[in-house]
Amino acid sequence: MSTKKILLPAIALFAICLVATLLLALTNQVTKERIDTIARESENAARSAVFPEAATFSDEKTVSAYTYYEALDGSGNTIGYTFTTSAKGYGGDVSVMTGVRRDGTVRAIEILDVSDETPGLGQNAKQDKFKDQFADKQGEIGVSTASKSAENGIDALTGATYTSRGVTDAVNLALKLFAQIPKGGSANG
């Protein structure tokens, strides 16, 4: 085989890959700011969904390398906290925003991402019927399936036990982080 027959296709393939890479980098650069803005707006909306009674939220704070926000009433008093956590689901990580009251009970959760979960099964975690089960729970939350019931638990989504456990693990992580906040759950918030 001649060098020309090997070299020309290799150079052509290299040029195609180089152009495709440059176009992808340019597209990423052009859309990065808009994607970041949409992500921030989505998190702000989720924060308001888990604490609708909050007048405002504090600046970002950190505990154990996770960020959280204080939910504040109209007088600036802390009424709770919001945590963004994730855990392993069936198809990938599930991301959850959890609102925790000062007494350590879950106010509400909002599913931020279950896009890697099975459509019609795991993606049903976004439905209120599933999310509402977490309200007023505290401590270690378990997952109940048809074969066993969990104390302080939620009912698993039919056909999506891994996703249900992933969401529950993310909420449990938020509750553990809440316990680590200085004066977390105390009268001083």
Q: Give me the helices (H) in the chain, please.
A: 3-50, 128-131, 161-180
Rounded Cα gap, residues 28 and 98, in angstroms: 30
pLDDT of residue 183: 65
> Terminus-to-terminus CA distance in the chain, angstroms?
76
What confidence tens digit (pLDDT) does each residue in 123-166 have? 999 999 999 999 999 999 999 886 667 778 899 998 899 999 99
Rounded Cα gap, residues 161 and 153, in angstroms: 13
HEC per residue, 88-134 = ECCCCEEEEEEEEECCCCEEEEEEEECCCCCCCCHHHHHCHHHHHHH
Rg (CA), the chain: 22
What confidence tens digit (pLDDT) does each residue in 69-82 have? 999 999 999 999 99
Q: Which helix (H) or strand (E) holds 61?
A: strand 61-63
pLDDT of residue 145: 80
Residue 184 has pLDDT above 80, yes or no: no
Q: Name beta bridge partners: 106.
A: 100
Core vs surface per residue 114-137: b (16+ CB within 10 A) or e: beebbeebbbbbeeeebbebbeeb
Range with lowest mean pLDDT among 35-39, 94-98, 100-104, 120-124? 35-39
Would you say 73 and 54 are in contact if contact means Cβ atoms under 8 Å apart?
yes
pLDDT of residue 102: 95
Tell which residue, 78, 86, 133, 72, has the closest CA to residue 103: 78
Give the residue carrying structure tokens 């925003």: 97
